[in-house]
A and B are shown apart, each in its own frame.
Chain A
């Protein structure tokens, strides 16, 4: 039995107990991050502080993906590798909460809970370091930058950080679920997000002589109308899908025939099949519609994030872990959401699971949605987040 075993009441401390003990640390560090929010891919202070904290715990770590941090907690012997991921970036949002830990960085705010993710994973690192006698293999801690701009996960993957990983677990603190509850179901959990723009080129002219031109307003409108048939006629009614045009800009003057139209939009879906088909479907409708009006249209389509789909086996590990750290009643069923997560890119590489950890507690904290200038969380959830990270790693490695 190594010297660093801690005993309380005659037994080895469980992860649940350690999380409770380290809760003040989790709250303190979460508030520190909350006070110093930084924009995506520029999490300089945040990543420096994470390194300091990990080093003070004796955990080997390095910067990765620019302002991200990768740390390694080695177990007692060789084995598999589980990655635990926390995103660390904030939003360009002016906080209007009046709290002692209010953002000190005007125009930026942790309005999505990533401060809590980073704090939860640091606390889990502390727990896992202390419990390193209790597992084989190793835990890779991924403090990921730039989730809000969907760049960080891709960059960590590009840098090869997932090559030696056998499974991955991540979470989102979630204001739409009660504090104390966790959802970690198999299957689709969050939507894909695609961004696209369409440039329609017709032929301008005088509004009184439409036949001499090719009216880009009509072509753009036909494209918007025709795109509706993708969701209503081409995609299975059982597969949720969204195609939204958010911007339609054409023309300069009421009596001048618009020669060009610019459209911008987004797609959402929950399956890789639907996601993979979007670009070619939209391209066909856009190009053929334009051609039928004697115009030209060019589609530029980019995948921002993929659908976040939990591997059933990996979700099952998580569900059991929740039972251990918070009791069976803590598990809830939560409908998948149309929001997107760049955690999806990891799931394309390795099996994994993503949990929603409830943070709603209207008795303590007024309820505001994510990305709201008054967003805040019930910090009791930090204890569950830290415990769940650690328990998940332990259970995965010991399976």
Chain B
């Protein structure tokens, strides 16, 4: 790989930045310190930046000649989790923890920025660095886009450090990678009354329970068995007393799909099951679907570019297959707008004890993975501009 030396030289810097971010985690939309430190580091590198989406940062590495625009995205927020790791860089912010690897994302993108700034004279085109807040709250990417972060951008790549994949390996695949995640709120409205006189009431609990059972047929009967859809009702709350039939039953849930078409169809089906089941029981259903995250769908062209870089970084034999997951990622919003891809960079290693899943209080990453991620960010930008400028 060209410039291997320049990228390798960032290794210690990236690890130290990652540990600094890990020690000082901040919740979604509150990444004030993180944001400030990113700006300071960019200033040291001589890279111009603009604040974006409150606590986000957009930096520009301008090549010597005009050309295409590639964006690199790193999310920077932490989670409301109390860290249980005993490490020198343990969270100093009680109840908040970088338990998903975003500390690594931010550090790797700073490392890549440093390397890119050193070779900018060789570049034709522009690299936009997106340090994005509030991925965990699914709003960061949206606001970044609204504030123009994607303006003029031709392609985007993001990375997620991934503990299910051993360090040293990378997953980059075309098509749906993560699911959409939308919220459903349903009130079944019946008619309350005494539990001993059900005939004078319309029991919303029976209607709601029936809806839960009926709606499952949507998954077993209505969609192709080859297609993946998730529907979960996480909350079912109704009633105040054993012998009183309540006025309504409240439910909240989520559904996950891998295409916009499935997303619309599933939302429509949920509405239909709720309303028609309610009517069957002489009740009413008030259904509200709050669209949250779209599915994360990698563009095949961008994937080819990322793949070619990844082969150079870890070797073709270390590109691994990984099934798409039903989790969601707000990288999806960028991919809805422009061609792009998210790569999963392996950060796990059973032998070394990095076995705890993402969002676990003992989550930690194998820091060896940071060099791979840094090289992938850097390499993609260079390669994309080379191919498209």
Q: Hey, which bits of chain A sit against chain B, CB under 8 A?
A: 191, 193, 195-197, 206-210, 215, 217-218, 220-225, 228, 242, 244-258, 261, 264-266, 268, 338-340
For residue B178, which residue of chain A has the nearest CB?
A208
B236 proximity list for chain A (CB < 8 A): 217, 220-221, 248-251, 258, 261
If A208-B230, A218-B216 touch, whether A252 touches B206 (CB-CB below 8 Å) is: no
Contact (Cβ within 8 A) B238 A217: no
If A218-B213, A225-B209 touch, whether A266 touches B327 (CB-CB below 8 Å) is: no
> What 9 pairs across the A-B complex have the smallest Cβ distances?
A224-B209, A221-B212, A251-B235, A247-B239, A338-B196, A254-B252, A221-B209, A207-B232, A244-B195
B305 proximity list for chain A (CB < 8 A): none
Give A258 to B237 CA distance when docked, in angstroms: 12
B216 proximity list for chain A (CB < 8 A): 218
Of B206, B209, B256, B327, most A-chain CB atoms within 10 Å: B209
A218 proximity list for chain B (CB < 8 A): 212-213, 216, 233
Contact (Cβ within 8 A) A248 B208: yes
Contact (Cβ within 8 A) A217 B212: yes
Shortest C-beta distance, A232 to chain B (Å), equals 12
Q: Is B335 at the interface (CB under 8 A from chain A)?
A: no
Chain B residues numbered 218-236 whose CB sits less than 8 Å from any CB in chain A: 230, 232-236
Shortest C-beta distance, A189 to chain B (Å), equals 14
If A248-B239, A338-B197 touch, whether A209 touches B326 (CB-CB below 8 Å) is: yes
Give A193 to B242 CA distance when docked, in angstroms: 11
Beyond the given A220-B236, A221-B212, A251-B234, please list 20 additional residue pairs across the A-B interface where CB-CB is below 8 A. Answer: A191-B196, A193-B243, A215-B232, A217-B235, A221-B210, A222-B209, A224-B205, A244-B203, A245-B205, A246-B242, A246-B244, A248-B205, A248-B237, A250-B236, A251-B236, A252-B234, A254-B254, A255-B181, A266-B195, A268-B195
Contact (Cβ within 8 A) A253 B234: yes
Give A210 to B256 CA distance when docked, in angstroms: 11
B194 proximity list for chain A (CB < 8 A): 338
Contact (Cβ within 8 A) B213 A225: yes
B327 proximity list for chain A (CB < 8 A): 206, 208
Interface residues on B, range: 35 or more
If A208-B230, A218-B212, A225-B206 touch, whether A258 touches B196 (CB-CB below 8 Å) is: no
For residue B357, which residue of chain A has the nearest CB?
A206
**Contact among A217, A246, A256 with B195 in the assembled complex (CB-CB below 8 Å):** A246
A206 proximity list for chain B (CB < 8 A): 327
Contact (Cβ within 8 A) A221 B213: yes
Contact (Cβ within 8 A) A254 B242: no
B232 proximity list for chain A (CB < 8 A): 207-208, 210, 215, 255, 257
Give A193 to B236 CA distance when docked, in angstroms: 26
A245 proximity list for chain B (CB < 8 A): 205-206, 209, 239
**Contact among A210, A217, A251, A339 with B196 in the assembled complex (CB-CB below 8 Å):** A339
Q: Is B241 at the interface (CB under 8 A from chain A)?
A: yes
Please name 12 pairs of A and B residues whose Cβ atoms are closer than 8 Å in the assembled complex, sorted by A: A208-B254, A217-B233, A221-B211, A223-B209, A224-B205, A224-B210, A246-B244, A253-B252, A258-B236, A265-B195, A338-B196, A340-B196
Q: Is B314 at the interface (CB under 8 A from chain A)?
A: no
Give A206 to B205 CA distance when docked, in angstroms: 24
Give A197 to B233 CA distance when docked, in angstroms: 22
Q: Hey, which bits of chain B sit against chain A, CB under 8 A?
A: 179, 181, 183-185, 194-198, 203, 205-206, 208-213, 216, 230, 232-246, 249, 252-254, 256, 325-328
**Contact among B183, B203, B234 with A256 in the assembled complex (CB-CB below 8 Å):** B234
A252 proximity list for chain B (CB < 8 A): 234-235
Give A252 to B234 CA distance when docked, in angstroms: 7
A209 proximity list for chain B (CB < 8 A): 230, 326
Give A218 to B214 CA distance when docked, in angstroms: 10
Contact (Cβ within 8 A) B238 A254: no
B205 proximity list for chain A (CB < 8 A): 224, 245-246, 248
Shortest C-beta distance, A100 to chain B (Å), equals 31
**Contact among A207, A249, A261, A340 with B253 in the assembled complex (CB-CB below 8 Å):** A207
A264 proximity list for chain B (CB < 8 A): 239, 241-242
B239 proximity list for chain A (CB < 8 A): 245-249, 264
Contact (Cβ within 8 A) B254 A220: no
For residue A247, which residue of chain B has the nearest CB?
B239
Contact (Cβ within 8 A) A246 B206: no
Shortest C-beta distance, A282 to chain B (Å), equals 13
Shortest C-beta distance, A275 to chain B (Å), equals 14
Shortest C-beta distance, A99 to chain B (Å), equals 26
B325 proximity list for chain A (CB < 8 A): 208
B198 proximity list for chain A (CB < 8 A): 242, 244
For residue B200, which residue of chain A has the nearest CB?
A338
B208 proximity list for chain A (CB < 8 A): 221, 248
For residue B325, which residue of chain A has the nearest CB?
A208
Give A247 to B204 CA distance when docked, in angstroms: 11
Give A195 to B195 CA distance when docked, in angstroms: 11
Shortest C-beta distance, A193 to chain B (Å), equals 7
Contact (Cβ within 8 A) B235 A250: yes
Give A218 to B217 CA distance when docked, in angstroms: 12
Contact (Cβ within 8 A) A255 B237: no
Give A282 to B194 CA distance when docked, in angstroms: 20
Shortest C-beta distance, B225 to chain A (Å), equals 14
Contact (Cβ within 8 A) B242 A228: no
If A221-B209, A222-B213, A254-B254 touch, whether A208 touches B196 (CB-CB below 8 Å) is: no
A338 proximity list for chain B (CB < 8 A): 194, 196-197
Contact (Cβ within 8 A) A247 B254: no
For residue A190, which residue of chain B has the nearest CB?
B196
Shortest C-beta distance, A177 to chain B (Å), equals 17
Contact (Cβ within 8 A) B242 A195: yes
Give A328 to B181 CA distance when docked, in angstroms: 72
Give A258 to B195 CA distance when docked, in angstroms: 26
Shortest C-beta distance, A194 to chain B (Å), equals 10
A265 proximity list for chain B (CB < 8 A): 195, 242
Of B181, B194, B195, most A-chain CB atoms within 10 Å: B195
Shortest C-beta distance, B230 to chain A (Å), equals 6
Shortest C-beta distance, B154 to chain A (Å), equals 32
Contact (Cβ within 8 A) A257 B234: yes
Of B196, B205, B210, B213, most A-chain CB atoms within 10 Å: B196
Give A215 to B213 CA distance when docked, in angstroms: 12
Contact (Cβ within 8 A) B230 A220: no
